[in-house]
Amino acid sequence: MSEVAERWGSRRAFIMAMTGAAVGLGNIWRFPYMTGENGGAAFLMLYVMFVLILGLPVMMAEIAVGRAGRRTPMQALSHLAVNNQRSPHWRWIGLMGAVTVFFILSFYSVVSGWSLEYLFDSVTGRFAGQSGAVIGQSFEGFLADPFRIIFNHTVFMLMTMTVVAAGIGGGLEKLNNVLMPLLYIVLFVLVGYGATTSGFQDALAWLFTPNLSVITTSVVLNAMGHAFFTLAIGACALMAYGAYMPEHQSLPKAVLTVAVLDILVALLSGIAIFSVVFSQGMDPASGPGLMFVTLPIAFADLPGGSLWLGAFFLLLAMATWTSSINLAEPMVAMVKSDRMSRSQAAMLVGGGVWLVGLPSALSFSTLKSWYLWGDGNFFDVVTTVPTDIFLPLGGALIAVFAVWVMDRDEVFKALGGSNALCQTWLWLTRWVSIPLVVVVLMAPLIKSWLT
Ligand code: PHE
């Protein structure tokens, strides 16, 4: 298939599209509860380190492959491989990515559905003036209600697939350009509120004073997986966006901007959420419900709280919407063919993801004790294995492809930075990023063999 002709309208548009894919549940929902479950500051420190030494080089590699190939991920990989006299089998990295995002999207849609429910609840003033205990119980009650959970999961999946089917992702990005800054404003307000609570100092200490003794192989693995998840890399999803990157744009600069914006959202929501956790005497390791319990408590206390809370969930819904479109797009692009239109492909993929989302939706009620792995039920497994194992694995393979399969000039041209920068990237990717992924992925295995 020939090259795509479309380009993002401007450099800013490309950065905004990437930020749209990167900023989502990963920053606002997943980051705080993972930090809570993995010992606080030490996890944060590892996560930031992984973003910088692994995330940035791999993200550059992934987008550079898309930019040089200018095709959908699998086609770009096989086209570039064949041009460099290598096997077209490299394209299977694209398939692995599609399977990974399939599972990620299945739970992503369920959790985004939770925020749709909370959007509705907050504008109707349900949390206003309620105590922490009542808010906590009402979340438990909601999770245990299969009908409401599945209803919201269905609505979110329909929202995502309607946009993907119509191929109007670009329109939504534009809307998001306007909304993103608002999300930062609401987060700053929340942090401002956090600063007035008694838990603020504890929150800062919890987030920024690392206790290195909590670091285990699984904490390191979780931090690495989270770095890939939050940057939206390792599944060829950003590769698809790279294909539309304008000719004259420096990739390193764009990628650095996205990473900084992404870390900032995580930090702001972390500070806001943990201030509430500590001022309410909650357990930081309360799991996936952390954000849904703490933020309504914070807002219930603020003047005009229902409105702020509504605004927050609306912006969160927008942020998750753009991320889920990015998750769905590569699958739909792959399934679409001469005989299957874009909308049919979107229906097929959407239906499949919706079905696989059902056991996640029921993991807090009917299927709570259906243990797939140790004491992990379906939701626990699907929120960790694809993210912690398959995103880093995919990312490492993409990096191997960029540094060892592609022609040097070809990659450097696609990176579009100065020669010194490209050389640094090459060195870092080869000798630090790729070996580090291998070591972190192998460590738990080796440990379990030894014990
Ligand atoms: N980065 C997104 C988030 O933080 C999730 C995502 C993962 C999107 C992988 C695309 C690919 O919510």
* pLDDT by position in tens, the chain (length 451): 677 767 777 788 888 888 888 999 999 999 999 999 999 999 999 999 999 999 999 999 999 999 999 988 999 999 999 999 999 999 999 999 999 999 999 999 999 999 999 999 888 878 877 888 888 888 999 999 999 999 999 999 999 999 888 876 666 667 767 778 888 888 998 899 899 999 999 999 999 999 999 999 989 999 999 999 999 999 999 998 888 888 788 899 899 999 999 999 999 999 999 998 998 888 899 889 899 998 888 877 777 778 888 888 998 998 899 889 889 988 888 888 788 898 999 999 999 999 999 999 999 988 787 877 778 889 999 999 899 999 999 999 999 999 999 999 999 999 988 899 999 999 999 999 999 999 999 987 887 787 7
Ligand 1 atom showing the smallest separation from residue 24 Cα? 12
For 101-134, b/e burial (b = at least 16 CB within 10 A) is bbbbbbbbbbbbbbbbbbbebbeeebbbebebee
Is the CB of 34 within 6 Å of ligand 1? Answer: no
Is the CB of 240 within 6 Å of ligand 1? Answer: no
CA distance 165 to 350: 10
* Nearest CA residue ID for atom 8, ligand 1: 232
Candidate of 33, 261, 323 to mutate for ligand 1, largest count of ligand atoms within 8 Å of Cβ: 323
* Nearest CA residue ID for atom 10, ligand 1: 232
Question: Using an 8 Å Cβ cutoff, are 18 and 258 in contact?
Answer: yes
Ligand 1 atom showing the smallest separation from residue 29 Cα? 12
Is the CB of 24 within 6 Å of ligand 1? Answer: yes
Tokens of 385: 């294995």
Ligand 1 atom showing the smallest separation from residue 231 Cα? 1
> What pTM was computed for the model?
0.93
CA-CA-CA-CA dihedral for 160, 393, 287, 128, to nearest 10: -30
* Predicted pLDDT of residue 169: 61
Tokens of 449: 């063999």
322 alpha carbon – ligand 1 mean position (Å): 9
Distance of CA 137 to the CA centre of its chain: 28
* Predicted pLDDT of residue 180: 80
Angle between helices 305-335 and 92-123 (to 10 degrees): 160
Q: At 73, which amino acid appears?
A: P
231 alpha carbon – ligand 1 mean position (Å): 6
Residues sharing a CB contact under 8 Å with residue 443, sequence separation 6 or more, in sequence order: 217, 220, 221
84 alpha carbon – ligand 1 mean position (Å): 31
236 alpha carbon – ligand 1 mean position (Å): 11
CA distance 261 to 24: 12
287 alpha carbon – ligand 1 mean position (Å): 19
* Predicted pLDDT of residue 295: 87
Question: Using an 8 Å Cβ cutoff, are 261 and 183 in contact?
Answer: no
CA distance 377 to 194: 33
* Predicted pLDDT of residue 5: 67
* Predicted pLDDT of residue 372: 78
* Nearest CA residue ID for atom 4, ligand 1: 26
Going 4 to 68 to 77 to 109, the CA torsion angle's sign is negative
Is the CB of 26 within 6 Å of ligand 1? Answer: yes
Q: At 355, which amino acid appears?
A: L
Residues sharing a CB contact under 8 Å with residue 193, sequence separation 6 or more, in sequence order: 272, 275, 298, 301, 302
- The 8 Å CB, 24+ separation contacts for 125-129 are 125/306, 127/296, 127/297, 127/299, 127/300, 127/305, 127/306, 127/309, 128/300, 128/305, 128/306, 129/300
Is the CB of 233 within 6 Å of ligand 1? Answer: no
